[in-house]
């Protein structure tokens, strides 16, 4: 059974998955040894995975869109087709006005237009309505930090791939894996994290921590949507939030351990004075959920990873 200290440790590791045990201990008021044991137990129990998550812009997935589908006939074949598409990072059957929703990440608006054309042509799809994201305000499973322009070489990609497997790997272990000195490995990792290329975070397993209820919502606002998003992003039950334009001004996800807590989270959204309308849809079946929008780091020598790439230049 997870207690308040476990919850505090998970929040701290979501913010900085490579925080030292001493820093974590100072934050929760326990000894370093006790905190080390608790973190290891959380990992062994499957409550969290501490991994490096690539920024969505690193591999050309800067543009986000939420798509609501009208479907004729059974939903499952449409979900299967959506799940097979590389650009689709989330797909779910829902209870609401639309039976299927999906999240898409692509390089630019031309790529989004092409992807939408393909999605509308899928068998069973009768139509689709699109919310084109502007800024990701909150994402419990990815980095929303700015991406600074830096050059990345094959050694950097190798370090990123190891961090994606084990975000708390020691600098000594990382150095051994890529053939660098410990100091050089540390310098490169700190540089990649500071530039926003990779964010080491604790990904929480919802079923283990009791976050079993999930609802998507769309919001229309009075006034500045970015200001409303900044306020809603502080709510504990909101796990994802994006500004944009289309059917809504904001799109988000609320996650909670039970229906009562979920209702409370949605009521908190509706209580914001600048919120004029809230539409919700329950996620009945999540067919695909690729956490961390950037996907995997390319292997050294693959076409997607040139000998030295510059990331952040398009922002």
pLDDT tens-digit readout, 234-284? 998 898 999 999 989 999 999 887 889 899 999 999 999 999 999 999 999
Q: Is the pLDDT of residue 180 over 60?
A: yes
Task: Work out the pLDDT band at 185, boundaries 50, 70, 90.
Answer: very high
Q: Would you state the pLDDT for residue 312?
A: 55
For residues 13 and 171, what is the distance between their CA atoms, to the nearest angstrom? 18
pLDDT at residue number 304 = 44
| Of 53 and 122, more confident | 122
- Residue 174 burial (10 A CB sphere; 0-12, 13-18, 19+): buried
Band of pLDDT at residue 310, cut at 50, 70 and 90: low
Query: Could you tell me which residues come within 8 angstroms of residue 274 by beta carbon, excluding any fewer than 6 positions away?
Result: 221, 222, 223, 224, 227, 228, 231
What is the predicted pLDDT for the residue at 20?
95
Q: What is the pLDDT of residue 202?
A: 87
| Beta strands per DSSP E along the chain | 48-54, 63-71, 88-95, 100-106, 125-139, 150-152, 198-204, 213-221, 238-246, 250-256, 275-289, 309-311
Q: Is the pLDDT of residue 308 over 60?
A: no
Does the global pTM surpass 0.75? no
Percent over 70 (pLDDT), the chain: 87
Residue 301 has pLDDT above 70, yes or no: no
> Is the confidence at residue 110, as pLDDT, over 50?
yes
pLDDT of residue 73: 95
290 vs 164, residue with greater confidence: 164
Residue ranges and CATH numbers for the domains of the chain are 4-45 (1.10.10.10), 63-142+206-289 (3.30.70.3460), 148-195 (1.10.10.10)
**In angstroms, what CA-CA distances link 268 with 227, 239, 253, 265, 279?**
16, 14, 13, 5, 14
Q: 133, 122, 142, 75: which is closest to 249 by C-alpha?
A: 133
Sign of CA dihedral 131, 288, 142, 275: positive
d(CA 86, CA 110) in angstroms, rounded, equals 16
Higher-confidence residue of 46 and 181: namely: 181
Whether residue 227 has pLDDT greater than 70: yes
Q: How confident is the model at residue 307 (pLDDT cuts 50, 70, 90)?
A: very low
């Amino acid at each position: 059974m997870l207690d308040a200290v476990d919850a505090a440790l998970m929040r701290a590791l979501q913010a900085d998955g490579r925080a030292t045990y001493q820093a974590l201990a100072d934050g929760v008021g326990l000894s370093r040894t006790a905190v080390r044991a608790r973190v290891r137990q959380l990992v062994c129990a499957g409550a969290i995975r501490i991994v490096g998550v690539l920024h969505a812009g690193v591999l050309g997935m800067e543009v986000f869109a939420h798509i609501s589908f009208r479907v004729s006939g059974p939903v499952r074949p449409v979900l299967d087709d959506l799940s097979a598409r590389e650009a689709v990072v989330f797909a779910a059957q829902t209870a609401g006005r639309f039976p299927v929703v999906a999240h898409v990440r692509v390089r630019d608006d031309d790529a989004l237009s092409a992807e939408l054309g393909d999605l509308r042509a899928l068998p069973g799809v009768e139509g689709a309505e699109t919310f084109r994201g502007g800024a990701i305000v909150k994402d419990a499973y990815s980095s929303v930090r700015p991406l600074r322009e830096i050059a990345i070489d094959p050694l950097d990609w190798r370090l990123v791939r190891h961090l994606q497997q084990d975000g708390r790997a020691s600098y000594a272990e990382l150095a051994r894996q890529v053939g660098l000195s410990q100091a050089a490995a540390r310098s490169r990792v700190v540089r990649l994290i500071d530039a926003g290329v990779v964010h080491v975070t604790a990904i929480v397993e919802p079923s283990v921590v009791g976050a079993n209820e999930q609802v998507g919502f769309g919001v229309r606002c009075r006034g500045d949507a970015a200001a409303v998003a900044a306020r809603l992003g502080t709510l504990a039950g909101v796990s994802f939030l994006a500004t944009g334009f289309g059917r809504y001004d904001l799109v988000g996800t609320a996650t909670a351990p039970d229906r009562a807590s979920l209702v409370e989270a949605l009521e908190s959204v509706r209580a914001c004075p600048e919120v004029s309308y809230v539409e919700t849809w329950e996620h009945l079946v999540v067919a695909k959920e690729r956490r961390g929008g950037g996907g995997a780091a390319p292997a050294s020598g693959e076409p997607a990873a040139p000998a030295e790439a510059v990331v952040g230049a398009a922002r």
